[in-house]
Chains A and B, each alone.
Chain A
Amino acid sequence: NAGVTQTPKFQVLKTGQSMTLQCAQDMNHNSMYWYRQDPGMGLRLIYYSASEGTTDKGEVPNGYNVSRLNKREFSLRLESAAPSQTSVYFCASKAPSGVTEAFFGQGTRLTVV
């Protein structure tokens, strides 16, 4: 029972480099989310996808792009990494029913130097 799988777990980038964070879920959930977690700021929503083929901006979308490749996969891309994007990134998925819990990946610790 894999749940939500994020790759990689750790990454160091140089300023200006690009990379894609991968996320896949095997629970047949419609909704998927990308968050960043910074000290003292909690989890801030970057982008979310309510269903396959749709994506919407969250609180902090600047510098990021996303792709909902299919129902299982939701990737986050940094086109030109900046030190301000150093953070821990979480992917989550959720069933349509509002009261059901969101399931989270194990997080990716990204450092931009």
Chain B
Amino acid sequence: AQTVTQSQPEMSVQEAETVTLSCTYDTSESDYYLFWYKQPPSRQMILVIRQEAYKQQNATENRFSVNFQKAAKSFSLKISDSQLGDAAMYFCAYMSYKLSFGAGTTVTVRA
């Protein structure tokens, strides 16, 4: 069974600065997909970024980028130029035949 671990329950970042969220996963599969989702207080789940495991190139979406280390089973999210609207809970997710989530990291942005 695959597990997803987010070791940082909370992270705080100054507006315009950079923050990195950690995620590790455990799997015996070779083909899978990884995601970061954002959940603001509205409870809506919003996809931030996705990564195919067979792609070595790290995914980027505007201010969001990942550092995917397949051998280390690590998938961290970097938020650059943090904005007040980035404040939310962030979930790392793993997908092979089912979609599993980590416990989440709450990000607060200081003005």
Interface residues of A (CB under 8 A from B): 33, 35, 40-45, 48, 50, 56, 58-59, 88, 90, 92, 94, 98-99, 101-102, 104, 106-107
* B102 close to A (CB within 8 Å): yes
Interface residues on B, range: 20 to 34
Of chain B, the residue at the smallest CB distance from A4 is B45
Specify the main secondary structure of chain B where it touches its partner. loop
Contact of B101 among A42, A48, A99, A107 (CB under 8 A): A42
Flag if B43 contacts A41 (CB, 8 Å): no
Interface residues of B (CB under 8 A from A): 6, 9, 31-33, 35, 43-45, 47, 50, 52, 91, 93, 95-104
User: Smallest distance from the beta carbon of A22 to chain B beta carbons, Å?
Assistant: 18
Contact of A43 among B47, B52, B91, B95 (CB under 8 A): B91
Flag if B99 contacts A45 (CB, 8 Å): yes
Chain A contacts for B32, CB-based, 8 A: 98
State the CA gap A105–B45 with chains docked (Å).
8
Of chain B, the residue at the smallest CB distance from A35 is B101
Flag if A101 contacts B103 (CB, 8 Å): no
